[in-house]
Structure 1
Amino acid sequence: MKGFRRTQAVAALLALALPLAACSGNGKEEAASSAGSSAASSDKPIEISWLSFNPPENDSTPVQQALEKKFNVKFKNVRVERANYDEQMNIKFSSGEVADLIYLDFSPQRLETLVNQGILAELPEDEIRGKMPEYAGTIDQADPTLWDYSKVNGKGYGIPVIWPIGDLPFLPGYNGDWLKKIGYDAPPTTLDQFEDVLRKFRNDDPDGNGQKDTYGLSGQGTDARSFSVVFGAFGVRPDYMVDEKTKQVVYGLTTEQGREALKVINRWYKEDLIDPEFVTKTANDYHDDFVNGIVGVRDWMSYQFEPRVGIVGAPFYAKNPNNKIVVGKPLAGPNGPGKAYSYGSQNAFIAMGKQVEKDPAKKAKLYEILNALATDDSTYLTAVYGIEGEHYQMQDGVPIMKPEYANENAKYKIGAGTFYGVFGTKSKLMEKYDYTQDTLKFIDSLRDGVQTIDSLAVYVPAMTEYPDLGKLASESYLKFVRGELNLDADFDKFVQDWNDAGGKEILRQINEKYTFGS
């Protein structure tokens, strides 16, 4: 069983999917009524209230009409702004307006709260497997522990939504021209070689402008994703993680591997090999510094180096068309091969309102629609991209949006996108439509030979009882990097303080609640 994983904000990644569009087959007639349709001409449509991201402006969009005809339903669109999704959802729930289908961000804490409030219907794992067998298989393949995240007190309340590329590793991307300038024909493979690269990126004028104005490495403040390539060389990440030997959750920053990684980072910081302004940088600042030739290494989710749509790759190649991002692998450290961070495959939950438990026909219809959205080509393409010929054209098996619908907001206006397309870029079975073959090859190459340390999304009550624990960790982390705390004299006290401030109790509750590995 793979380790539990933590969600991260993913709104930016939705923009990474190519501006593709909808339906395979023989046109919009097929899009409205192709394989999987359950519409019975004599049956009265079932009314379904639907709550998801980015609703259409009205209730008569082409996509809505096509799906309603296909499944013999009538959708009641529940409109909630994405920016204040949870807050506005709470207002609707407190007024008694509970949608039949509810799309939730991946938060076990949020799911548990809604269950305790009596908002959500029970969705047993066996029931989901029976109604959505193919999709359930993709969950098992991606990360079977996601089923446990969807449970409260042993009962299931959500269909796990996976993010197929979420398990891609954080890998170092190097400025290819700079590597050649300092005499490297290939990226470094060990921590010692990496240090040599950083030293030369700082001191040997890799951009050739005659000034000492370049750095090898930076970060994004106290973000746990900073310096991932260094922590990974020690097989650790500075937050909650599973210890391979004990299969217990530990807090990586408080481990001996965490201390050793911090020693390396502190030494580089004192030698001026790390951009000292990393403290105030955001992730986007670091992206920009790499693109603009200020920093020579970007250690980040490696998909972002993709030349066409990656949020690092696309601007890098636009600005540096004759250069190349050389994607490396995790660095071997003092204890052997390194590992890479990974967000993990978790992404969201699809839940149903409590009232659906009393309406078997509606529940069955919801399962039918969801199964088709995740596994049926025509349904998926219609929901996510629109109507073939009207909104997109197929090119080499991939839907390409017409220019007037290429913008995400334009897709929302026709009912396409994320509202009905709750599995858009989230179904392994439909990846063939979301990415070109070149991009899929790039994705596969990133996984090759890489072991990951995945994010955890564990939740226990103690996490809300000790709200200052994260502040203690982030402040100490920064002081260790800058040398304001000594990693020999002060580290043990930090660990003790962290445990006493609630960390020990949080870990106890986590390891009592969750089981990892065999």
Structure 2
Amino acid sequence: MKRSKKCWLGNMSIILMVALTTAGCANGNEAATQLPTSNNKQESSDNFGTEAPIEITWANSINPPDNNNNYVQQQIESKFNVKIKNVRLERSTWKEKFNVLLASGQIPDIFPVDADMTDMATWADQGLIASIPREEIEKHMPKYAIHLKAEDPGAWEVGLYQGKYWGIPKVWPPGNDGLLPGYNENWLKEIGYNEPPKTLDELHDVLTKFVNDDPDGNDRKDTYGMTARGQLPIQMFTSIFSAYGVSPYLFINDDDGGGVVYGGITEQTRSALKTLNQWYEEGLIDPEFITADNHQINEKFVNQKIGYVDNLGWISYYKDSAYITKPALEKGIQVVAGTPLIGPAGKPYAFSSGSRQAPLMLGVQLEEDDKKRQKIEQILEWVSTNPEGWLMTTQGVEGVNYDMVEGKAVPRTGTEANVNKTGAGSFYNPLVWINKDFIAEYSTKQDALELEEKINRGYIPLRDDLQAAVLETKTKYWPHLQTLQDTYLIKAVIGEENTDSDFDTFKAQWLKTGGQALTDEVSQVYAERSRN
């Protein structure tokens, strides 16, 4: 595809210029947060003399600072002789507002971390992002490259498109963890279980008793066994599908030698849907799952309307987790993690999203500005792999945002301790996850590490064979295919469509309306990666 930046920009209406006032662009004139003292101010690592600072336009939607010219910004500017212009975006609306910026020709030097693979391919085709040689990243970010190799050397492939690398590889290691089923332990004991169920059949028995045996002791039949995250179907009934060895929204390698297949049209998915429909008809599944998101799931579990949740990562079982565990403990409910259920697949599979993400992208203007591009690489190397840079950009200022207690950065409470006031919280550290040692050493409490060691083991992660990849057919067909699948799966669970002839019809439609083309491209990319 041709890179058509001028054409794309020229076709946009001048009305878009007006909308820029809502996009969070910053000119750095706001007052600085009054935090640094002369003793704490970051000393420059180089003697810059009279050299003018390099201006960097930094866009992100993760923890945008409350003010420009904040403490963390000042420290980075001083150390590297740069001047940062913030583009502060809200996570819920960042894409719309960022596209307005791009349409107006205002291309930042550093792009938001939430951009995905489709964004990368689109912006590369439109001439909006810079291609960066892998060798340059390895040269100017050597420690980062070492950590990346240790975590996932295949992450480089994610940013490879049209023969070029379109950014700095980025990973999210927690994505490799599987989702673990969780139970109201009080309810389990009430129905005679001293430990969580281990098989799909045992889960069926538990859910049945959660509904029929009055586990909350209120003398009313007003409970369900489980609900599901209907607003994010990829996390819907994950433990049940995993027991059948499948995730409906992932491509998997067929164990029978059939190559890469899409989970949603397999016989395993058909069988899992039959089970789910049976359980729905038995009244084990809350019918409001269709509109439920994590907030509603949290609320139903804490209010003892359900006793089982299956979209919890190990950290959600920690006592301070705002999702399920902490609010449950506040009401006297003990939450216990189970192991992935053994079902027809015969193995303990656990859904995992995977760690690979779209790379961190830089504006196309940096292709012709070696000095600025390499300066940005140096900054990113420091904030992601240097303990001083990592602590400052993620935790903030010691004595203001956190206290060091037995080597751990323990956050302070109160509005004045909010990291957004100092510019911390990873707005200036988009590669924060690359060094797991920092996270374990500085910000994860010892009892949380012990919890991870105890429960985050003994399962087989069930993840997409490609994870992140540029797929032209997905860009073209996915919106329709996803809607088609979301609709069918929900209707199959609640019985509005059957899992026999209607499943066959859904499968045929999925393949005919782009699914076959998508599968063919996935198989091609998978084969190419396997040869490398």
Q: TM-score, normalised by structure 1?
A: 0.87
Q: Does residue 152 of structure 2 align to residue 143 of structure 1?
A: yes
* Displacement of 1:232: 0.4
Instruction: Using the TM superposition, name which of 431-440 and 457-466 deviates more.
Output: 457-466
Counterpart of 2:456 in structure 1 is 447
5 Å-filtered alignment, 1:233-248, equals 233-245=243-255, 246=257, 248=259
Name the amino acid aligned to 2:199. Answer: T
The residue identity in structure 2 corresponding to 1:298 is V
Query: Secondary structure of 2:501's partner?
Result: coil
In structure 1, the partner of 2:283 is 272
**Is residue 375 of structure 2 the alignment partner of residue 365 of structure 1?**
yes
* 1:113-149 superposed Cα distances (whole Å, 9 cap, x missing partner): 1111111111223332333233233333433333222
Secondary structure, counterpart of 1:172 in structure 2: strand
Query: What is aligned with 2:108?
Result: 99
1:106 shift after superposition: 4.4
Q: Note if contact 1:332-1:338 (Cα within 8 Å) is conserved in structure 2.
A: yes
Instruction: Give the aligned partner of residue 339 of structure 1.
Output: 349
Residues 184-195 of structure 1: matches in 2 within 5 Å?
184-195=193-204
Q: Which moved more, 1:47-56 or 1:149-158?
A: 47-56
The residue aligned with 2:60 is 52
- CA shift digits 1:450-493 (9 cap, x unpaired): 21112534442323433422222122212221223332333223
Say whether 1:231 aligns with 2:241.
yes
For residue 354 of structure 1, the aligned residue among 361, 364, 367 is 364
Tell me which amino acid in the other structure corresponds to 1:86: K
Residues 79-98 of structure 1 aligned to structure 2 (within 5 Å): 79-98=88-107
Paired residues of 1:269 and 1:482 also in contact (CA < 8 A): yes
Structure 1, unmatched stretches of 5+, are 1-26
SS of 2:361's partner is: strand
Q: Is the 8 A contact 1:425 1:434 kept in 2?
A: no
Assess if the C-alpha contact under 8 Å between 2:148 and 2:434 holds in 1: no
Decide whether the 8 Å contact of 1:391 with 1:402 is kept in 2.
Answer: yes
Tell me how far 1:104 sits from its aligned partner: 3.3
**Change in 2 beyond 3 A, CA 1:41/1:112:** same
CA RMSD of aligned residues (A): 2.5
2:291 is equivalent to residue 260 of structure 1: no
Q: Is the 8 A contact 1:56 1:419 kept in 2?
A: yes
Q: What is the rounded CA distance, in whole Å, between the counterparts of 2:342 and 2:455 in structure 1?
A: 17
Q: Give the CA deviation at 1:107.
A: 1.0
In the alignment, residue 412 of structure 1 is paired with which amino acid?
A: N
Distance 1:444 1:229 in 2: 21
Cα shift at 1:405: 5.0
| Equivalent position SS for 2:290 | helix
Read off the aligned partner of 2:208 and give its amino acid letter: R
SS at match of 1:33: coil
Secondary structure of 1:243's counterpart equals: strand
Task: Spell out the pairing of 1:19-418 with structure 2 (5 A cutoff).
Answer: 29=39, 32-33=42-43, 37-41=45-49, 43-53=51-61, 54-221=63-230, 223-245=233-255, 246=257, 248-302=259-313, 303-320=315-332, 323-347=333-357, 349-405=359-415, 410-418=418-426
Pair 1:486 & 2:498 matched: yes
Q: Aligned-pair distance for 1:30?
A: 6.0
Give the match's secondary structure for 1:337. Answer: coil
**Structure 2 length as normaliser, TM-score?**
0.85
Return the letter of the residue paired with 1:250: V
Per-residue deviation, 1:359: 2.1
Instruction: Give the Cα–Cα distance (whole angstroms) in 1 for the partners of residues 370 and 241 of structure 2.
Output: 50
Equivalent-residue separation in structure 2 for 1:406 and 1:396 (angstroms): 23
Residue 484 of structure 2 is aligned to residue 472 of structure 1: yes
Q: Is the 8 A contact 2:180 2:338 kept in 1?
A: yes
Structure-2 separation of matches of 1:380 and 1:186: 40
| CA distance, structure 2, for counterparts of residue 104 and residue 48 of structure 1 | 16
Note if contact 1:201-1:216 (Cα within 8 Å) is conserved in structure 2: yes
Q: Given residue 292 of structure 1, which amino acid in structure 2 is its aligned partner? A: N
SS at match of 2:409: strand
Cα distance in 2 between the residues matched to 1:174 and 1:418: 33
Distance in 2 of aligned mates of 1:57 and 1:334: 52
Q: What is the CA-CA distance between 1:164 and the residue it aligns to?
A: 2.6
Q: Is the 8 A contact 1:122 1:155 kept in 2?
A: yes
Which amino acid counterpart does residue 380 of structure 1 have in structure 2?
Answer: W
Q: 1:55 to 1:176 in 2, by over 3 A?
A: closer
Change (3 A) 1:248 1:89: farther
Query: Letter of the aligned partner of 2:488 in structure 1?
Result: S
**CA-CA distance at 1:79 after TM superposition:** 3.6
Letter in 2 for 1:68: E
For residue 250 of structure 1, report the CA deviation from its aligned partner.
Answer: 2.3
Q: 1:423 to 1:438 in 2, by over 3 A?
A: farther
Structure 2 counterpart SS, 1:299: strand
Retained in 2: the 8 A contact 1:417–1:424? no
Counterparts of 1:330 and 1:106, CA distance in 2: 32
Please give the alpha-carbon distance, in whole angstroms, between the structure 1 residues aligned to 2:179 and 2:416.
29
Aligned to 2:429: 421
Contact 2:351/2:463, CA 8 A, preserved across alignment = yes
Percent sequence identity over aligned pairs:
38
Residue 50 of structure 1 aligns to a residue in which SS? strand
What is the CA distance between 1:224 and its match in structure 2? 2.5
Please give the alpha-carbon distance, in whole angstroms, between the structure 1 residues aligned to 2:258 and 2:74.
50
Q: Is the 8 A contact 1:45 1:74 kept in 2?
A: yes
Contact 1:81/1:88, CA 8 A, preserved across alignment? no
Residue 497 (1) aligns with residue 506 (2)? no
